Amino acid sequence: MQLIIIDRQSKKVLDVLSNEAPFATPFDDSFSGGGLTDSLETGMATYSFEVLKKYAAADHLVKGNEIAFRDKKGQDRLFQILIVESEHDKKVIHCVDTNLTLNNTIVRPYEAEKDYRIADYINRFLPSKSGFSIGINEIPHLSRKLVWEGHETVTKRLRSVATQFDNAYIGFRVVMQGSQVTARFIDIYKRRGKSIGTTLEYSKEVNNIYKTEDLSELATALIGIGGMKEGSEDQESITFKDRHYQSADNRFVSPAGDDRVYDLIMGPYWKENKPGMQTYEGYIERVFEYDTQSPQELFNRAVNRLAELSQGANTYEVDVALLDDDIALGDTVRIVDHDYQPELFLEADVLELTQHLSNKGRNTAVFGNFIEKESKIDAALRMAQEAMKQTQLQALYEWRAYADDDQGNGFTHRYSENKEYMAILFVRNKPVPSDDPADYLGHWTKIRGSNGIDGDDGKTYYPWVVFADDANGKNISLDGNGKPYVGIGNGTNPVPSTNPADYKFQLRYDQELYKQVQDQIDSVPVVTVGTIRPENPKHGDQFWQQDSEGALTGYFKYVVKDSIGTWEPQMVDQALLNIYELNAVNINGSVINGSKFTSEFTGTDDYGRPINGVLSIDGGVIKSDYLYPNEPGRTGLMRLSHEGLASVVSRDGQGTANAGFNLNTVAMRIYSDQYDVNLSKTNLSLVDSIALREATLAYDKLTLLDKAGKKYFKGGFEGISVEQRLGISLTKMTVPAGGGLPSIQAWEVLSAGFNDYNNPSETWMDIKAKINLQNNWMNNLNVLNFKNGNSNVSSTGSRIYVTNDNHLVVGGNWGTYLVAFNTGSPVTVLHADRNALQAYKNLNMNGYSITNQSDIRLKKNVKPTDIDPLKEFERIEFYDFEWDPEHPRNEGKSTEKQYGLIAQYVPFLSEHSSFETDNYLVINQMKQMNLTSHAVKVLISRNEELEVRLAELEEKMNKLLGIE
């Protein structure tokens, strides 16, 4: 494995780290917290390693530079150095993958106007210059109409997209050529990983398994609470009660108007069934909170959490000792503990995987989504597995050093052409090489010539390092994988020799441990199956003999007594045999004698509850009697005979049945405490005794009855009749591309009924779809109601109707728009609501007047005003202005210069509009007209006073001037 150091700006290769190349800088990632860690939850990866400072390559390991390598799966990986920790003699490097752009970019709220595919959403949210494109896409045709109402990072938004596409997984991938990234991909998978069939076993690959069983957090229903609604003044939270939600497998459901999601499988299992209990009563409720603005995302997250809580909190912690390199992120593995009481068999997903590229230390993983399984391992196979538990070797740490002679003078860890000797040691539990030359005595090997001194010819000598299976150089190779011995030599050819005689070999593993393990391997019995006995057997070996047709004809064991070995025939105890299929002509004759057969068994029922019982065959009847060990008094019975098939489960010690079925040639019945289903030659009936509902299907009619809700439906050749309300819906069924249960969407297009059950003569009908009358009239129409949001139409909804005095009434529940259509687009002319009437175009009265009520009979507290209109006018300033064309409230207004008042500057005339929801100020023009009239009246009065004073002054002037 090579780690390439790349300059952040120039993208040039600065140095290479390697533990295989003889003269490269070594690195170590086996320390706690080190290694390459991939996370399934975040889709991100980190890598940490350390390098000794004495190597020149350590100078290039600085923040911002990049580390490139090809991982053990052959995938190109590119990381950026984020943190550098310096110690006395080494640097510890922490890197993250190069997807920081996505994690540092914020995306805004978004609501799709129609169904889009997952690739469309990802391309929409990716930054324009991110360099990423869609790579692998396993769900290219699946589409969704999604909405996000909050701000979040691109990485979080992409994970949210994947979650809402049936919990898909997205991964990031780069392709490199040299030190350059040639492509970046986002891969989309139905799920990450696969079920690989790998088994991790206690005391072999697993050190320990810790299991905790806890019902304290048990829940079969969750109340979903999302983030605070943006813009909500009363701090209302997001829920999913706006409509009906249901999971793809139909197990989890949230009815419209209900902020809970229910587990329809585990809910009935855990709840107490009491008489009169409704469908969703008795569920065990808890609260689930998740900060999101999307009800669909909240429902998806709640379903995932409820699937965990409804099983009870069985938690597991697995301490892994050895992890195969073939195990990948997201893979499902089996974990087995035969010594656990009772034996433990688990399936789990790899949620986080840490690999050590330095080939030091062991790979580790974090497991989740545990599922307990039943054992399917044969007892003989377990014995064979137990015999192999101790055959594992421990790889040691490699120490490599150079010196001037075989005494270690001039000792250094850094390769130099001036050093003529090299030593390689393999030491257990000490990853950092020793700096003491004494630790290397006896391991020095000459790797260079002496430039002609003492008869040498002065040729250049090259160090050779090879690997082999034994100390004699068997199967010599340049690749050290799986080779327990290392050989060191030199020669004038830069290509290492393949002649074992040119090398001095030493064991790469602890010799005492190697011998112990080899002895254990040799002591394991060898089992041979065939027609010829094996050669050179040892004591304890087994031989299963076959004939030419492959049938087993004998079982032998090799026994050594007094140094003499013989194959001795063996007997197989009947109790050890597990016979799945027995083919024979005769067993004690040509028939099996006896009239009764019994077999004890243990297992679980359909809900996973344990049962113990006895299966018997007697007198033409096959019968299975069983009981529930964890529920005293609860029993079950299955019976098959010529009379039919029956199964009964009791709920108490008296044998009172609460569930079961009967099947014979006449009829079939399935029943429980709540349900009773009967199928005969003439009809099919279903009775829900708790919900008080019944359904009957005959050859000529279908009848539905809800006694609790007072609802009734009957459909047949004579027509359809219902109790109180009829609804007709159109549905759409979507079948998943990969198979599985289809999802159903429904849209109600017509409903009819009456609001008052005691006065059914007042009926109504709602049509919730477009109506095409094909040029026909709608005659005798009483009232035309319109859908109001997501609710059903009521008498207070939007409608058009004619009053008793033949006046046409057009009204919206919140208001009414009068629009004109301009090339197909509506243009608002008038808008009326409960508070005001607003015009969006010029109002032409065509010579008529605008009047307002002013009758004193309509008024109270009438008295002369004390307002001084002239002072109010002194405060008024008039302005030239233009309407802001960028403001959406100015759409369609004149772009020419205007003359008038500013509402903020005339508080006496301004007020908040009773119509607008955006709280803009308006000028009360009626008040302005009254103020103007009042001012004119005051001016007239003052003018009359001035005229009197002027006349008096003229009279005095005339007298002074002597003018008569």
The string of DSSP codes covering 674-720 is SEEEEE-SSEEEEEETTTTEEEEEESSEEEEEETTTTEEEEEETTEE
Give the closest residue to 441 by CA, choosing from 494, 405, 387. Answer: 405
123-138 confidence digits (pLDDT tens): 999 888 778 889 889 8
User: What's the rounded Cα separation, in Å, for the pair 225 and 202?
Assistant: 42
Place of tokens 């009979």: 857
User: What's the rounded Cα separation, in Å, for the pair 590 and 70?
Assistant: 67
Confidence of residue 945 (pLDDT cuts 50, 70, 90): very high
| pLDDT at residue number 873 | 87
Confidence of residue 294 (pLDDT cuts 50, 70, 90): confident
Provide the token pair at 203. 């005391």
Confidence of residue 236 (pLDDT cuts 50, 70, 90): confident
Q: For residue 118, give Cα distances in angstroms to 161, 174, 270.
A: 7, 20, 38
Confidence of residue 58 (pLDDT cuts 50, 70, 90): very high
Give the helix/strand (H/E) hosting 874. helix 869-874
User: What's the rounded Cα separation, in Å, for the pair 170 and 137?
Assistant: 9
Q: How many CB atoms lie within 10 A of CB 628?
A: 18
DSSP 937: H
Place of tokens 């208001």: 815
Provide the residue type at 429 as one letter: N
Q: Average pLDDT over the chain, rounded to whole?
A: 78
Contact (Cβ atoms closer than 8 angstroms) between residue 452 and residue 425 = no
Contact (Cβ atoms closer than 8 angstroms) between residue 157 and residue 183 = no
User: What's the rounded Cα separation, in Å, for the pair 710 and 182?
Assistant: 69
| pLDDT at residue number 302 | 92
| Out of 211-220, 448-457, 535-544, 741-750, least confident range | 448-457
Provide the residue type at 191 as one letter: R
Provide the residue type at 583 as one letter: N
> Residue 786: phi, psi to the nearest 5?
-120, 150
Question: Given strand 462-468, what is the order of strands in its sheet?
Answer: 462-468, 485-491, 504-507
Give the closest residue to 914 by CA, choosing from 838, 862, 802, 851. Answer: 838
Alpha helix locations (H) across 165-245?
none
- Cβ-based burial of 358 (10 A; exposed 0-12, middle 13-18, buried ≥19): buried
- DSSP assignment of 230-260 equals TT-TT-PBP-S-SS-EE-TTSSEEE-TT--E
Q: Please say if the pLDDT value at position 601 is more than 70.
A: yes
| pLDDT at residue number 392 | 35
User: What's the rounded Cα separation, in Å, for the pair 466 and 504?
Assistant: 10
More confident site: 109 or 677: 109
| pLDDT at residue number 198 | 66
767-790 confidence digits (pLDDT tens): 777 777 777 777 766 677 665 555
Provide the token pair at 332. 């499902």
User: What's the rounded Cα separation, in Å, for the pair 350 and 701?
Assistant: 55
Give percent of the chain with pLDDT exceeding 70. Answer: 79
Q: Which residues have CB under 8 Å from 735's CB, separation 6+?
A: 742
User: What's the rounded Cα separation, in Å, for the pair 468 and 158?
Assistant: 50
User: Can you point out the beta strands (E) in 428-491?
Assistant: 444-446, 462-468, 485-491
Q: Are strands 635-641 and 621-627 parallel, antiparallel or unpaired?
A: antiparallel
| Out of 403-417, 647-661, 746-760, least confident range | 647-661
More confident site: 578 or 957: 957
- Cβ-based burial of 74 (10 A; exposed 0-12, middle 13-18, buried ≥19): exposed
Q: Please say if the pLDDT value at position 387 is more than 50.
A: no
| pLDDT at residue number 385 | 39
Helices (H) and strands (E) in the chain, counts: 9, 63
**Residues pairing with 488 in the sheet:** 465, 504
82-106 confidence digits (pLDDT tens): 899 998 899 999 998 866 667 778 9
More confident site: 221 or 912: 221
Confidence of residue 261 (pLDDT cuts 50, 70, 90): very high
Tell me how far the alpha carbon of residue 186 is from its chain's centroid. 17
Query: Residue 833, by phi and psi: left (phi above 0), alpha (psi -120 to 50) or beta?
Result: beta
Strand, helix or coil at 760? coil
Q: Using N-to-C axis directions, what is the helix angle for 118-125 and 154-164, rounded to 10°? A: 170
Q: How many CB atoms lie within 10 A of CB 423?
A: 21
Provide the token pair at 723. 């109790």
Give the closest residue to 61 by CA, choosing from 88, 94, 29. Answer: 94
Provide the token pair at 917. 């929801």
Q: How many CB atoms lie within 10 A of CB 476?
A: 21
Confidence of residue 48 (pLDDT cuts 50, 70, 90): very high
User: What's the rounded Cα separation, in Å, for the pair 514 and 471?
Assistant: 13
| Out of 105-109, 266-270, 436-440, 797-801, least confident range | 797-801
Our CA angle for 346, 349, 354, nearest 5°, is 120
More confident site: 949 or 510: 949
User: What's the rounded Cα separation, in Å, for the pair 357 and 465?
Assistant: 21
Confidence of residue 278 (pLDDT cuts 50, 70, 90): low
Provide the token pair at 791. 């609710």
Contact (Cβ atoms closer than 8 angstroms) between residue 175 and residue 308 = no
Q: Please say if the pLDDT value at position 43 is more than 90.
A: no
Q: For residue 561, give Cα distances in angstroms to 519, 522, 537, 541, 556.
A: 21, 19, 14, 14, 16
Give percent of the chain with pLDDT exceeding 90. Answer: 11
User: What's the rounded Cα separation, in Å, for the pair 33 and 746?
Assistant: 52
Q: Are strands 397-403 and 364-373 parallel, antiparallel or unpaired?
A: unpaired
Give the helix/strand (H/E) hosting 270. helix 266-270
Query: Residue 774, by phi and psi: left (phi above 0), alpha (psi -120 to 50) or beta?
Result: left
Q: Which residues have CB under 8 Å from 685's CB, separation 6+?
A: 676, 677, 678, 694, 695, 696, 697
More confident site: 825 or 855: 855
Q: Please say if the pLDDT value at position 375 is more than 50.
A: no
| pLDDT at residue number 92 | 94
Strand, helix or coil at 189? strand
| pLDDT at residue number 947 | 92
Q: How many CB atoms lie within 10 A of CB 110?
A: 13
Query: Residue 648, by phi and psi: left (phi above 0), alpha (psi -120 to 50) or beta?
Result: beta
User: What's the rounded Cα separation, in Å, for the pair 173 and 945?
Assistant: 94
